[in-house]
Amino acid sequence: MNRLPFLRLVSLTSPGIRVRINGVQKEVREEAKRKFMEFLERKDLRITNQRRVIIDTVFDTDEHFTAEQLLDWSRERDSSISRATVYRTLPLLTESNLVHEMDFGKPYKFYDPNYSDSPNHNHLICEDCEKIVEFDSEKIEEIEQEIGHNLGFTVKSQNLQLSATCNALKRSGACDNKPCN
Ligand SMILES: [Zn+2]
Ligand SMILES: [Zn+2]
């Protein structure tokens, strides 16, 4: 399994479970952006101003986002960004394998800009406010390898998605940061 060291994950309460709390280093994000530019060049795709703003926005964040969030964030930088350009750029980002598309059973997809940094990390999502937490666990990896081995498979990648309710929802019946889309 192509697992990168999770140096920026810090051990939580349970041994063997690491949650990303410090984000992805700027250099890692810059490197991913550089690779994406090369990918566009190989495809002979023109990098328009709009597209450059969208790409800068994607690789400046380590938060997971929806297409509409990316549109909002990009428009904060340049109000002329069109929805069509965002929706045309997203498939290129996922095709490059630098951004991963995730389906949490919502009417829209989420995009993970941390995929090139750690392709095998897992996600917890609050089904109400859609807060996403990334975590990694050697225990889970061991179990998956064991299941694969016992059934005669070689596990190549893993990506566990847990739908959950966050603490704010449990405490007060409402989450602080409800998504508006
Ligand atoms: Zn992630
Ligand atoms: Zn919540």
pTM over 0.75: yes
Whose atoms come closest to the Cα of 132: which ligand?
1
What is the DSSP code string of 12-32? -SSTTEEEE-S---HHHHHHH
Q: Which of 70, 95, 116 is the last residue of a domain?
A: 116
| pLDDT tens sequence across 33-54 | 999 999 999 999 989 999 999 9
Give the Å distances, CA to CA, from 143 to 91, 164, 178. 33, 21, 34
142 and 102 within one domain: no
Distance from the CA of 63 to the center of ligand 1, in angstroms?
Answer: 8
Query: What total number of domains does the chain contain?
Result: 2
What is the pLDDT at residue 12? 55
Q: Which of 97, 116, 135 is the last residue of a domain?
A: 116
Whose atoms come closest to the Cα of 128: which ligand?
2
Single-letter residue type at 101: E
What is the pLDDT at residue 17? 79
| pLDDT tens sequence across 90-99 | 999 999 999 9
112 and 39 within one domain: yes
Distance from the CA of 135 to the center of ligand 1, in angstroms?
Answer: 8
Q: Which of 116, 148, 172 is the last residue of a domain?
A: 116
Whose atoms come closest to the Cα of 136: which ligand?
1
Distance from the CA of 66 to the center of ligand 2, in angstroms?
Answer: 16
Neighbour tally for 143: CB within 10 Å:
12
pLDDT at residue 7 above 50? Answer: no
Residue 171's pLDDT band (cuts 50, 70, 90): confident
109 and 91 within one domain: yes
Over residues 96-123, the mean pLDDT reads 93
For β-strands 9-11 and 17-20, DSSP reports them as antiparallel
| CATH number of the domain bearing residue 69 | 1.10.10.10
What is the DSSP code string of 49-71? HHHHHHHHHHHT--S-B-HHHHH
Strand order in the sheet with 9-11: 9-11, 17-20, 132-137, 122-126, 161-164
